[in-house]
Structure 1
Amino acid sequence: MQGLTLPETRASRAIDAVLGRIGRAASWLWVVLLAVIVSNVALRYVFGEGRIEFEELQWHLNSVAFLVAIAYAYQVDAHIRIDLVSSRLHPRAQVWIELYGTLLLTLPFIVVVLVFAMPFVAHSWSVSEISPSPGGLPFRWFLKGVLPGAFLMLLLATLSRLSRLWAYLAAPRSEVGGA
C-alpha cells in the first residue's frame, strides 16, 4: 500500500512515538557493529590476534539491530510486500485486504512466535546459558530475550497499523480522498 496515507489515531500516535524512539536508538547499533567489525579485522590482520568475543559480539549486535528493525520497518511501512493483485485495486479494497491479512496472518504469526519464544528464553535464563565457545560471551539468555521483546514491539506496530486501517475504513469517504 505504498503511497496510500492512512489517518493517525490517538493509539497510533502514542505507539508510533515509542517505537520511533526505540528504532532510532537501536539504529546506532549498526554504527557500533561497524566499529566492532573494524576492530576485529584490525586485531586479526594487523596484530595477528583473533578475539572470539568480538566475533560473537558481531552477531549479537546484528541480531538485536535486525530484530528491532523489523518492528520499525513495519511501523513506517518500509517492509517488503508483493502487491501484484491489490496494487490494481481501489484504495479501499487495498485497506480491506491489508486488514484481513493482518488479522489472519500477521497477528497469528506474532502470537505463535511469542508462545514458543517465552519457554526458549526462560530455559536459557534458568540455566544461565553462556556461549559454548571458550572465551565467548556470557548471558546468552539476554540475546534470546530480545526475540520476544522484538515481537512485542512488532505486535505494538501491528496494533498501531490496525487502528489506522480501521480509522480509514470508518472515515467518511470524502475525508479519505473519496476512497
Structure 2
Amino acid sequence: MNNDLRPPSTVLLADAVDRVLRKSCEYLSWVYAILIAVILLQITLRRGFSAGLIALEELQWHLYAIGVLFGVIYAQATNSHVRVDVLQSRFSARAKSMTEIAGILLLAMPFLFVVFIHSLDFVAESWRINERSLAPAGLPWRWLIKSMIPVSVGLMMLTFINHLYRESVLLIRGNNYGN
C-alpha cells in the first residue's frame, strides 16, 4: 500500500477513512469496464454499421471523467501517486512528515478549496438551466457529470485532511515510521 520504504504506521482513524475511500473508489473503478463496453459498442456501430451515436461518444467522455476524478482520490488514499523524491529520499522521517504537512497546507488544500468553491456555482448554474448536450442526439442531464467535480474535489480534500491528520499524529508521537 505504501510506496516508500518506510514500514506502515497505524493511525486507526486515518486507516479507517483510507479504507472507506479506497473501497469507494474500487467500486467506482467499474466505470472503466463500462467505458470499454461503450467504446466497443461505438466502434462496432460506426465501423460495422456506419451508425455511430453521439450519445455513446459523449458517454465515453463522461465515464472517462468519472474514472480520472475518482482515480486520483484512490491514488492519494493508497499513496500510490507519482512522486519526485529526489530531495525527500534524503530527509529524516520527521522532515518527511513536516514536508508532507507543509505541502498539504500550503499547496494542495488552497488549490482544492478554490476549485471546490468555484465548481459550486458552475454546477448550480448547470442544474438551474437543466443543462444538456448541445447535440440534438446527445446526452441529457449534463449537470449530472458536472456534479462530479465538487463531489470528487470534496473527497480529495477529505483524503488530504486524513493524510494531514496521519502525518500530524505520527509527528507528535515522535516515532513515525520507526525512526
TM-score range normalised by the length of the shorter chain? over 0.9
Equivalent position amino acid for 2:98 in 1? W
Task: Provide, for residues 50-103 of structure 1, a one-character-per-residue CA deviation record: whole Å limited to 9, x for no partner.
Answer: 100110000000001110111111111111221221111222211111111111
| Structure 1: distance between partners of 2:76 and 2:169 | 18
Residue of structure 2 equivalent to 1:31 = 33
Residue of structure 1 equivalent to 2:167 = 165
| Structure 2: distance between partners of 1:38 and 1:113 | 34
CA RMSD of aligned residues (A): 1.4
Equivalent position amino acid for 1:57 in 2? L
Residue of 133, 136, 154 corresponding to 1:134: 136
Deviation at 1:47, TM superposition (A): 1.1
Residue of 105, 109, 112 corresponding to 1:110: 112
1:12 aligns with 2:14: yes
Q: 1:143 to 1:78 in 2, by over 3 A?
A: same
SS at match of 1:80: coil
Deviation at 1:6, TM superposition (A): 5.0
Taking the TM superposition and a 5 Å limit, the aligned residue runs for 1:34-49 are 34-49=36-51
- How many residue pairs get aligned? The number is 177
SS at match of 2:147: helix
Identity of aligned residues (%): 34
SS at match of 1:46: helix
- Give TM-score, length-normalised by structure 2: 0.93
Unaligned runs of 5+ in 1: none
Equivalent position amino acid for 2:12 in 1? R
Taking the TM superposition and a 5 Å limit, the aligned residue runs for 1:65-144 are 65-144=67-146
Q: Is the 8 A contact 1:7 1:167 kept in 2?
A: no
Residue of structure 1 equivalent to 2:151 = 149
Equivalent position amino acid for 1:58 in 2? Q
| Structure 2: distance between partners of 1:12 and 1:161 | 7
